[in-house]
Every structure is written in C-alpha cells, then in structure tokens.
Amino acid sequence: MKNFAIDAPINGLSFGNVSISILREIYNRNLNPSIFPLEGRIDFGGQKQDDMFAQWLAARINESQRLFSRDTPVYKLWHIQNSLSSYSNRGNRLITFMELDSLTPTEVNILKNQEKVFVTSSYTQDVFRMFGINSEYLPLGFDSHNFHLLEKRPSIDGVTTFCLGGKLEKRKGHFKVLNLWAKKYGNNMKYRLNCALTNHFLKPEQMQALISQALEGKTYNNINWLPYMPSNAEYNQFLQSGSIFIAMSGAEGRGLPEMHATALGAWPVALNAHAYKDFLNSENAILVNPNSKIPAADGVFFANQGQFNVGNIFDFDGNEFIAACEQAEKRAAQGLNAKGMELQKLTYKDTVDVLLKDLA
C-alpha cells in the first residue's frame, strides 16, 4: 500500500461524521496515513468514546508535518468551493457532496484541477458527466459505531409519530413539509411530529421567523421542536423516536439522517430523486415522484447566480405527499421496516475499498 494522506473536517457535522467513519475504517486496517484536520480543528464530542482510535488519530496528526511529502496522494473531503488548494503536488482526490443539477464555470475548473473526484450520489455523477467531469461513485456506509437499534424505541401509546431532520433550509423541503403536515395532522393528538432542525448557520430568531412563516403564524401542540443534540447517541434516540421519517429533500449529496433512520427501522416518505435513489426503493420506502424543478436560491446557502451553488432542486405535489403519509401510517402499523434495516449491511469497508483500490 502506497503512502497517502487525508485532508478533512473532523467534527460533528455531516462532512465531519463521514470523515471520522472513513478514518476509523483506515485505523481498523492498521494503515498510517498523514492526517490534516481541516482548519486544524478537532471535535470528537459527538462520537461514542473510543480511546485507542483517538490516540491513533492524534499520533497521525502530530507526525504528519514531520513525515509528509508533497508527492503523496491526498484525499480531501470538502465542498467544491475552497477545494482547489492541496497538500499534494498532484492535486486532491476530492470527495464531495454535490446536491444541485448544474455546475458553474468556476466549479468545473476546480473539479478539472483535482487528481480525481469521488461523489456520494449516482445522480451527481450524471450531472458532472454532463459538464465533462469524470467522477467515481463512492458509497457511504451505515455508521455502526454510533448508531444501533434500541431495545425499546421512544414512543407514545396510540400516537403515530413522524420525524423530520436535517438542518432547516429550503433545499430540504422543510418549509413545504411543515405547512402540509400541519394542515393534515396539526393538533390531532393521535399524531406527532418530532423536528430536529437546528441550523447553526442561522440565528435562532431567523429560524423562528422561517418556521412561523411556514406554519402561517399558527402554533400546534403536536409538533415537538427538539433542541440541538450534540451527541450521536442522542441523535440515535431521535432517529428511532418515530415510525415514519420524512425524506422530502429537493436535493441531497447523500441524506445521512434519512439513510440511518431507514436502516434503524423507520418507514421513510421519500422523494424519488437524487441521492435517495441509491438506497431507497419501493420495498423500503413510500416514494413520491417529483413533479418539477425549482431554483435552489434561498438567499443564504444557494444563489441565483455567481461562482458557486447555482442550480435547481426537485419539487413535489402536496396531495401526493399526504397520500404517501397515509400509506406510511398503514405500513408503520405493521411493524418496523425490515427491508430498510438491510441498509445496515452498507459499511465503510466498502467506502474505503473504493478510495484505496488504486493505491495497492
């Protein structure tokens, strides 16, 4: 095995959790790459304690600048934006979560300057191909270190509980879903919606204003707003707190909460589009076909024009979403999603096999 290096965020956000899972699999293989934490920061707070892995990681980071050569291949896990810089003379082997259906000329140029590009969605691979970018599909695994089936799922007798997760934003369809769910189930105490939607890139007052707008200024006793959960152990509880998980995002690079909730037995009501199609189907999900595309621009994370993050997201018909929720109620009444739990067979061994196959 040739020497290699990892340049990636190590924190509790989506990119950080994926980085840590990849690094843990590399540690399990007794490999010793150079490791460069993005921006020099390390946040392990959300992870289940693993002292031996943490010691290995610290040793690899501490030795990297003393031992590293710029002739070494570097795997960088990051957005297209800000991924042009590299520790290697060869450029990066970029692992990126692209969500939209288009690339700007700047993004194309950055991607063409990578040694290799890995994407976590077959849909993204098709988008890149349209713009002349060759990429390799990188399957992500189920994080079995942090997530597991609970002996007893949090539940309320006689109540059907839905869950809605991910950071609050237009791209994920949150505002439309909240509006539709409230009109169908709002204040009907036979139903409950658990929302874990904290977005650290928005101020609390901004989040509250957006939620109020989505709910047309009304309040609902059966919509449960959960606080930020700093640990994966807490998030594991949330993912199993409902029998139905709403997965109606208009664009995803993977959809980690949706994938893990399904793997833990929830029935997803899911948009039949983008990265979801890599792991959701008619056997393990209640699918809603998209009916159009709309601009992704939201004034915060995505733009109408510019050098980055310009494109469209999928949209859906509200009546079809509610019909899918009703179908999900019937499936959930029959028990856990056995087909969905087969997603636990997806492992980070497969992920790392793809990454390292040409370094042997």
Architecture of domain 5-138: 3-Layer(aba) Sandwich (3.40)
Of 91, 89, 75, whose CA–CA distance to 34 is shortest? 75
Measured on CA atoms in the order 80, 6, 138, 257, is the torsion positive or negative? negative
From CA 202, how far away is CA 299, in angstroms rounded? 12
Every domain of the chain and the residues it spans: 5-138, 160-345
User: What does the pLDDT read at residue 41?
Assistant: 82
Domain 160-345 matching CATH 3.30.1330.120: the answer reads: no
Give the span between the Cα atoms of 231 and 127, in whole angstroms: 34
Max CA pair span of the chain: 62
Q: Which two tokens stand for residue 287?
A: 């699918």
**In tens digits, what is the pLDDT along the chain, a chain of 360 residues?**
689 999 999 998 899 999 999 999 999 999 999 999 988 888 888 899 999 999 999 999 999 999 999 999 999 999 999 999 999 999 999 999 999 999 999 999 999 999 999 999 999 999 999 999 999 999 999 999 999 999 999 989 999 999 999 999 999 999 999 999 999 999 999 999 999 999 999 999 999 999 999 999 999 999 999 999 999 999 999 999 999 999 999 999 999 999 999 999 999 999 999 999 999 999 999 999 999 999 999 988 998 889 999 999 999 999 999 999 999 999 999 999 999 999 999 999 999 999 999 887
Phi/psi-derived region of residue 30, left when phi > 0, alpha when psi is between -120 and 50, beta in every other case: left
| pLDDT at residue 1, as a whole number | 67
Beta-sheet strand order (sheet of 5-10): 34-42, 5-10, 74-77, 92-96, 116-119, 136-137
Q: What is the pTM of this model?
A: 0.96
In this chain, the answer to whether the domains covering 5-138 and 160-345 adopt an identical fold is yes
